[in-house]
């Protein structure tokens, strides 16, 4: 119940910052998704579908709504936290991610998302701690964590270390940003 209330509070805070037209559109999408799919997982997938079609605000709104109503789906909570992190609401994402970490201690996706959220807040030492954990537990499957390590190394003036970490990250998953 506590995580559900937290998700609801974040959703309401984010909603206050959103464009009313985006909210209206998101509500329309949500009603359509809800009428077709009873499962929270399916509704969460509907939110991600919005994200994949560049309806970012609508995606955040819908995922927040899904998690506010039924916060037992770990994948939805993780995706909501990732969406928030990707759009500058890291402070809202971290408690969700820490909740997930308490349930899934060594999950590489959760660990790397925590690292990304802390990096977004400028807390590079904390970000590095979670990135290191992810890399240690899941070498070869920690591209986001290595990206975080690259940023940390660069901030410490270690250009070669940054390049090395970024090369490892790109070797696992390429992105134009990297």
If pLDDT is split at 50, 70 and 90, which confidence band does 169 have?
confident
> What is the value of pTM for the model shown?
0.89
Give the angle subtended at the CA of 100 by the CAs of 99 and 101, to the nearest 5°. Answer: 90
Residues 6+ apart with CB under 8 A from 29: 46, 50, 55, 58, 62
**DSSP calls for 122-161:** T-HHHHHHHHHHHHHHSTTS-HHHHHHHHHHHHHTT-HHH
Mind listing the pLDDT tens digit for each residue in 58-107? 999 999 999 998 878 999 999 999 999 999 999 999 999 999 999 998 89
Mind listing the pLDDT tens digit for each residue in 20-37? 999 999 999 999 999 998
Report which DSSP code applies to 174: -
In the numeric block, which tokens belong to residue 139?
């070498």
Residue 55 has pLDDT above 80, yes or no: yes
Residue 157 has pLDDT above 90, yes or no: yes
């Amino acid at each position: 119940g506590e995580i559900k209330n937290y998700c609801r509070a974040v959703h309401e805070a984010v909603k206050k910052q959103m464009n009313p037209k985006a909210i209206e559109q998101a509500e329309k999408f949500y009603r359509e998704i809800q009428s077709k799919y009873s499962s929270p997982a399916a509704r969460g997938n509907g939110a991600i579908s919005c994200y994949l079609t560049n309806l970012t605000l609508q995606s955040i709104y819908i995922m927040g709504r899904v998690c506010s109503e039924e916060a037992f789906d770990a994948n939805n909570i993780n995706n909501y936290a990732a969406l928030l992190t990707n759009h500058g609401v890291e402070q809202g994402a971290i408690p969700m991610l820490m909740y997930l970490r308490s349930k899934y201690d060594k999950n590489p996706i959760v660990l790397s998302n925590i690292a990304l959220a802390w990096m977004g807040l400028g807390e590079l030492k904390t970000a590095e701690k979670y990135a290191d954990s992810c890399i240690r537990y899941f070498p070869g499957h920690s591209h986001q964590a290595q990206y975080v390590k690259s940023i940390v190394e660069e901030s410490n003036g270690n250009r070669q270390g940054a390049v090395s970490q970024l090369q490892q990250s790109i070797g696992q998953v390429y992105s134009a940003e990297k």
